Chains A and B, each alone.
Chain A
Amino acid sequence: MNPYLLPSLIVVILVTVAIGAYGLRFARTTSDFLVASRSVSPSWNAAAISGEYLSAASFLGVAGLILRYGAEVLWYPVGFAAGYLALLLFVAAPLRRSGAFTLPDFCEVRLRSTRLRRLATAFVLFIGCLYLLPQLQGAGLTFATVTGGSYAWGALLIGVVVTGNVAFGGMRAITFVQAFQYWLKLTALAVPIMFLIFQWQADGRPAVTPPAGAVFPVATSVVIERDAVLDGVGPVTAGETLHFAAGAPVPRVDTVDAKFGVDWLQPGSESGLFSTYSLILATFLGTMGLPHVLVRFYTNPDGASARRTTLVVLAMVGLFYLLPTLYGVLGRVYTPQLLMTGRTDAVVLLLPEAALGGGHLGRLLGALVTAGALAAFLSTSSGLLTSVAGVIFTDVLRPGRSGSVRDFRLATLLAAVVPIVLAMFVSDMDVSRVVGLAFAVAASSFCPLLVLGIWWRGLTAAGATAGILVGGGSAVVAVLVTVLGAELPSGLAEFIGQPAAWTVPLAFLVMVVVSLLTSRRVPADVGATMLRLHAPESLRG
């Protein structure tokens, strides 16, 4: 095992706890815990938002998807970044000016409906769990892969570290932790990729898609995990170990779905258009509906700084997403065995040692990327937990004005228990896929609520409720069908597997139509609310 690995992981956990403890010195009131007293500067806040947003799906999953499917999944990183542009254009400043803290709060401020508030709470909890579960699973799997330990202990360890950090430091501490973790994640991908590119140059720039098919760069042993048929080798059974010499062609495995040659190099044909546009819609519009993203905007001092923060986030996230693509491409050259085992999510972790050899440099860089992956799990799950705990604190425990820090800690514990227990027993869900589904649910429930609520006076509570129930509800059903793995006819599978292309327009349509039908129930003070959402703070005197 890599001797640098364990020390680097311990350093990340210790620094996380230390920064959390340092932040704790400033955290005194409930307000510190929930919104860092709205006194975080745009650059700190932007680094924290980016650190929180770049999850395991971004750090490991995107490179893995590109290694596997090539050009057609380039939309994942673009969509993950573009989501912040949509947020900037339609939501950032008015949402901050609304003065609400969570999505349920926004429902109450804008539409004065307790029933809608409860519905929004249910959706926040669902999306939060759906997003938290794969983070913990990814953490457990990475722990098991790189240390050889047990999956359940890895998931439990991360769960406990995150819960403790959130419960004791709250939002104030988390802001510093997240900002640190953004820079750690960026460094952990940027430094190794420079060495990897130099190595690729030094190796004489081996072709990414050689015309004769991929070959093993060095002698490699591959352990087969499932019965399969290999072209050129024949049928193999689970547990069998195959040995390949350097320069031997890489056989294709029929149980692993991947693309090769020209199919990998060029974007899909017309048949994939529906899923491509569905993915674009989900990622572009889903970001604004994620609870852990929204909660961060309330920590800005005013609407204009919320806008600037979003702009800096867009730059930081865009900078980061240049890197995973390169890992996916170089993985094609140096770790082709992942296409045989199907564990493509591990490409970022394995590439440094595979390309640079088992010397000190390769191992050191390998430890660095693993530390970055750990930071990804820690930061995203901390942020999610803070926001879910915030909603439980205000809408489930309902402490009112007497809400204390102890109640917030109880809420954190309640929010953490379900995903941690689930993560210990469910280990075979695909990280990137579940995260994509969470985006689809957010895009078809909260995106229409926010966009129409901010820009259209005619929205009514009945319209918003109906839209969330119909659009968000059908997205939830599609997600559950996909996650539970029901067999579907092929025509239907595409509609259910990537539901955003029909659930998002459906949610908008239902919201508008029902609002028009109940137009007599538009809140009487909608003019004042609109003024508050859109007028600059300087006018408030």
Chain B
Amino acid sequence: MADNPPPPRTRVVLGDAAARRRPADPARTDLAEQTPVGEALVKGLVRAQLALALRLSLVVVAGLGALPLLFAVAPAVGRLKVFGAQLPWLLLGVLSFPFLMLVGVAYVHWAERNEQDFTAVVRRPER
């Protein structure tokens, strides 16, 4: 991140963002118009990122989303006490936040790795 030079200052065009979409640089046009191969590369990246996002949201759904059902089906769990506090209060009021944070850190780590892989494949010199 740090070794990239800051991008040049550009005027932001609001109303007609569509008009800005010109094939500005050859590298991007190349990739965009690269017929089956380029298309497949992009599809692969999108699929990898989507799979990652879905997998991690499944972790959240299993970890947090199942709790209301659990408390309703097994009220005994809701009555448990840990360190003098009721379990639901401890889980929702305190532990849920570091849990969300942890999932977020994992996502950023893997998503950046997916992008690095993609860049490496695209940048690979043709032989």
Instruction: Please state if A71 and B17 are interface contacts (CB–CB under 8 Å).
Output: no
Interface size on B, residues (CB 8 A): 68
CA distance A369 to B64 in the complex (A): 31
CA distance A321 to B98 in the complex (A): 11
Instruction: Please state if A86 and B57 are interface contacts (CB–CB under 8 Å).
Output: yes
Instruction: Please state if A31 and B11 are interface contacts (CB–CB under 8 Å).
Output: yes
Partner of B71, one of A267, A310, A321: A267
Partner of B42, one of A302, A310, A390, A534: A534
Residues 308-327 of A contacting B (Cβ, < 8 Å): 308, 310-311, 314-315, 318-319, 321-322, 325
Instruction: Please state if B53 and A322 are interface contacts (CB–CB under 8 Å).
Output: no
Q: Helix, strand, loop or mixed for chain B's interface?
A: helix
Instruction: Please state if A88 and B107 are interface contacts (CB–CB under 8 Å).
Output: yes
Instruction: Please state if A400 and B27 are interface contacts (CB–CB under 8 Å).
Output: no
Instruction: Please state if A400 and B11 are interface contacts (CB–CB under 8 Å).
Output: no
Residues 1-57 of B contacting A (Cβ, < 8 Å): 1, 4, 6-7, 9, 11-18, 20-21, 24-28, 31-33, 38-39, 42-43, 45-46, 49-50, 53, 56-57
Partner of A321, one of B72, B78, B97: B97
What is the chain A residue whose CB lies nearest that of B43?
A530
Q: Does B105 contact A (CB under 8 A)?
A: yes
Instruction: Please state if B68 and A539 are interface contacts (CB–CB under 8 Å).
Output: no
Q: Does A93 contact B (CB under 8 A)?
A: yes
Partner of B12, one of A31, A77, A267, A528: A31
CA distance A100 to B20 in the complex (A): 10
Q: Which residues of chain A are within 8 angstroms of B98 by Cβ–Cβ distance?
A: 318
Partner of B18, one of A108, A273, A276: A108
Most B CB atoms within 10 A — which of A34, A82, A267, A311? A267
Partner of A304, one of B1, B16, B57, B96: B1
Q: Which residues of chain A are within 8 angstroms of B119 by Cβ–Cβ distance?
A: 536, 538-539
- Contacts known (A38-B12, A301-B6, A535-B118); A85 close to B104, Cβ less than 8 A: yes
Q: Helix, strand, loop or mixed for chain A's interface?
A: helix
Q: Does A43 contact B (CB under 8 A)?
A: no
Q: Which residues of chain A are within 8 angstroms of B31 by Cβ–Cβ distance?
A: 531, 535, 539
Partner of B50, one of A39, A112, A325, A455: A455
Instruction: Please state if A267 and B78 are interface contacts (CB–CB under 8 Å).
Output: yes
CA distance A393 to B105 in the complex (A): 37
Partner of B32, one of A31, A273, A393, A527: A527
CB distance from A529 to the nearest CB of B (A): 9
Q: Does B94 contact A (CB under 8 A)?
A: yes
Instruction: Please state if B93 and A322 are interface contacts (CB–CB under 8 Å).
Output: yes
Instruction: Please state if A105 and B100 are interface contacts (CB–CB under 8 Å).
Output: no
Known: A112-B18, A535-B42. 17 other contacts (CB 8 A): A71-B78, A78-B96, A85-B100, A89-B57, A101-B17, A270-B72, A301-B6, A302-B7, A308-B108, A318-B97, A394-B14, A395-B15, A398-B15, A528-B32, A528-B33, A534-B49, A541-B25
CB-based closest 6 A-B pairs: A318-B97, A74-B92, A541-B25, A89-B53, A528-B32, A541-B27
User: Contact residues of A with B, CB < 8 Å?
Assistant: 29-31, 34-35, 37-39, 71, 74-75, 77-78, 81-82, 84-86, 88-90, 93, 99-102, 105, 108-109, 112, 265-270, 272-273, 276-277, 280, 301-302, 304-305, 307-308, 310-311, 314-315, 318-319, 321-322, 325, 390, 393-395, 398-401, 403, 455, 527-528, 530-531, 534-541
